């Protein structure tokens, strides 16, 4: 809304007229604003779709060679360990159309509040959860607003407002009455389309795997493996997928077997984002060729998107997104086009981003991130 429209049509005519001050901020020609670097939300494409040099790839785990690092990250030009921080695009989610109004669920959490609206691919399924200790007045169930508050969604008062606004689903049904009681052991609850995980025994973590670490919990050869970084040695966790020993970045750990199976099943097509450093320069058309598909020894493979992030003498930094989980598929694709990978970092899996997490550390997912991750596989 412009300043004139805020003041009203009649009042706008009485303003003092003065000499032209030049274009107002945000309304001038493209050359008078920011530099011509591609926007972060630009449609990814081949080398011809992005410019080399300053690429506008901010908050994504990349820093230009020679730039001073501002947070914990990897050594070497062009990389800082982390993943995209900006909001992720997505369709409308939740029981209502459009973005929900009012406080966001899990609004007080540090991680995951920039993930945007939830997309639920498939109907939610009920999951067993341990029953909390119920008060005497809750013999027939626990009040819904109390369940939401105990799960950390919001305070009980704010949870009541969410229920009254029609933002809460219980077992696929929108609930608006405040007196509704549910059984946390059997109920499946969503807020704004995001699953609320009530089972406190299920754990979810993000591991920023360093180079040289084997993607196993135990290694008979004595090499460094994931269990060397898990603080609670007795905790049984699965690693969701694998990264080869020379690949760095995001690896999900969980004891939720159903989620792990869905995330790795090809039918759910969970996208994975990588930063790839290869020798340069790179010829025109490489990106288009990789998006069209390349014949490998085990069949055709392709990337979903290809974006040139940065180019320096002798080096090219590329961001690729693909949903294939085949062994070393990124390295094999770049070998096939004559650009063997020098460094490979995974920065995102589905809605979960690496951010500025320090290499070699493990952090728990927030309730917001867990909700988005479950929704991505229809849970």
Per-residue pLDDT, averaged over 156-181, amounts to 93
Average pLDDT of span 306-329: 92
Query: What is the bridge-based pairing of β-strands 362-364 and 352-353?
Result: unpaired
Per residue in 75-122, pLDDT (tens digit) is 444 455 444 444 443 333 444 444 456 665 666 555 555 565 555 554
- Determine how β-strand 204-209 pairs with β-strand 248-254: antiparallel
Tokens 């966790």 belong to: 237
Average pLDDT over residues 159-183: 93
| Residue bearing tokens 């901020």 | 25
List all residues 6 or more positions away from 240 whose beta carbon is below 8 Å from its beta carbon. 251, 252, 253, 254, 259, 260, 263, 264, 349
For the residues 26-37, what does the mean pLDDT come to?
Answer: 41
No. of helices (H) and no. of strands (E), the chain: 8, 17
Structure tokens that stand for 150 in this block = 């105990």
Rounded to 5 degrees, φ, ψ at 126 are: -70, 145
Using the predicted structure, report yes or no on whether residue 36 has a pLDDT greater than 50: no
Sequence-ordered list of residues with C-beta below 8 angstroms from that of 300, at least 6 positions apart, any chain: 293, 294
Beta bridge partners of 276: 318, 344
pLDDT tens by residue, 176-194: 998 899 999 999 999 998 8
Position 246 pLDDT exceeds 70: yes
Measured CA to CA, the distance from residue 196 to residue 177 in angstroms comes to 19
**Which band of pLDDT confidence, cut at 50, 70 and 90, is reported for residue 369?**
very high
Model confidence at 325, pLDDT cuts 50, 70, 90, reads: confident
Q: Has residue 259 got a pLDDT over 50?
A: yes
pLDDT on residue 321: 97
Active site residue 244: yes
pLDDT of residue 46: 39
pLDDT of residue 200: 87
Tell me the residue length of the chain: 379
- Statement: residue 370 has pLDDT above 70: yes
Residues 6 or more apart whose CB falls under 8 angstroms from that of 74 comprise 80, 81, 248, 345, 359
Q: Which residue has the higher pLDDT, 317 or 123?
A: 317
- Measured CA to CA in angstroms, residue 249 lies from 238, 313, 332, 368 at distances of 17, 25, 18, 21
The tokens describing 366, both together, are 């927030």
Instruction: Report pLDDT for 144.
Output: 95
Determine the average pLDDT of the residues in 4-13. 41
Catalytic residue among 41, 135, 244, 298: 244
Q: What is the mean pLDDT of residues 52-79?
A: 42
Q: Please check the confidence at residue 168 and state whether its pLDDT lies above 50.
A: yes
Q: How many CA atoms lie within 13 A of 126 on its CB side?
A: 10
Q: What is the pTM of this model?
A: 0.67
Out of 71-75, 144-148, 191-195, pick the least confident.
71-75
- Average pLDDT, stretch 220-232? 88
Q: Where are the beta strands (DSSP E) in the chain?
A: 142-143, 168-170, 173-175, 181-182, 189-191, 194-195, 204-209, 238-240, 248-254, 272-279, 294-296, 299-301, 305-312, 315-322, 343-349, 352-353, 362-364
Report the alpha-carbon distance of residue 306 to residue 50 in Å, rounded. Answer: 10
For the chain, domains (ranges, CATH) are 136-195 (3.10.290.10), 204-365 (3.30.2350.10)
Higher pLDDT, 369 or 325: 369
pLDDT range class, residue 280, cuts 50, 70, 90? confident
The band of 139, judged by pLDDT with boundaries at 50, 70 and 90, is low
- The whole-number pLDDT of residue 101 equals 61
Residue 285 token pair:
């058309």
User: What is the predicted pLDDT for the residue at 364?
Assistant: 93
Predicted confidence (pLDDT) per residue in 336-361, tens digit:
999 999 999 999 999 999 989 999 99
Q: What is the mean pLDDT of residues 181-209?
A: 92
Specify the range with the lowest mean pLDDT, choosing from 11-25, 292-306, 355-369.
Answer: 11-25
| pLDDT confidence of residue 166 | 94
Find the mean pLDDT for residues 28-38. Answer: 40
Q: Which residue is associated with the tokens 């809605």?
A: 351
Q: Average pLDDT of the chain?
A: 75
- Sort 267 into a burial class: Cβ within 10 Å, 0-12 / 13-18 / 19+: exposed
- 205, pLDDT greater than 90: yes
Provide the sign of the torsion angle of the four alpha carbons 309, 311, 317, 318, taken in this order. positive
């Amino acid at each position: 809304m412009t300043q004139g429209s805020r003041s009203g049509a009649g009042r706008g005519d009485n303003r003092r007229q003065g000499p032209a001050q030049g274009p107002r901020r945000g309304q001038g020609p493209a050359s008078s604003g920011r530099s011509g670097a591609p926007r972060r939300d630009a449609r990814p494409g081949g080398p011809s779709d992005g410019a080399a040099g300053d690429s506008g790839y901010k908050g994504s785990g990349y820093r230009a060679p020679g730039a001073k690092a501002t947070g914990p990250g990897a050594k070497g030009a062009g990389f800082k360990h982390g993943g995209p921080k900006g909001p992720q695009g997505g369709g409308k989610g939740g029981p209502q159309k459009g973005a929900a109004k009012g406080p966001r669920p899990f609004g007080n959490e540090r991680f995951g509040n920039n993930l945007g609206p939830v997309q639920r691919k498939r109907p939610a399924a009920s999951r067993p959860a341990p029953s909390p200790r119920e008060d005497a007045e809750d013999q027939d169930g626990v009040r819904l607003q109390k369940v939401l508050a105990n799960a950390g969604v919001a305070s009980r008062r704010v949870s009541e407002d969410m229920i009254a606004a029609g933002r809460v689903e219980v077992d696929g049904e929108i609930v608006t009455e405040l007196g509704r009681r549910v059984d946390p052991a059997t109920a499946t609850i969503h807020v704004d389309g995001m699953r609320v995980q009530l089972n406190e025994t299920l754990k979810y973590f993000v591991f920023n795997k360093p180079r040289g670490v084997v993607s196993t919990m135990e290694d008979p050869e004595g090499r460094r493996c994931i269990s060397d970084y898990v603080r609670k040695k007795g905790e049984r966790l699965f690693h969701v997928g694998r990264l080869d020993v020379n690949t760095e970045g995001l690896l999900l750990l969980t004891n939720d077997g159903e989620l792990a199976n869905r995330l790795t099943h090809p039918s759910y097509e969970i996208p994975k984002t990588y930063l790839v450093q290869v020798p340069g320069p790179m010829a025109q058309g490489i990106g288009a060729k990789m998006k069209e598909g390349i014949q490998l020894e085990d069949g055709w493979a392709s990337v979903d998107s290809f974006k040139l992030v940065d180019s320096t003498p002798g080096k090219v930094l590329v961001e690729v997104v693909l949903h294939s989980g085949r062994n070393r598929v990124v390295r094999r694709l770049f070998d096939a086009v004559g650009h063997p990978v020098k460094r490979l970092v995974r920065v995102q899996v589905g809605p979960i981003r690496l951010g500025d997490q320090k290499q070699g550390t493990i952090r728990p997912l927030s309730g917001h991130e867990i909700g988005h991750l479950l929704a991505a596989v229809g849970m």
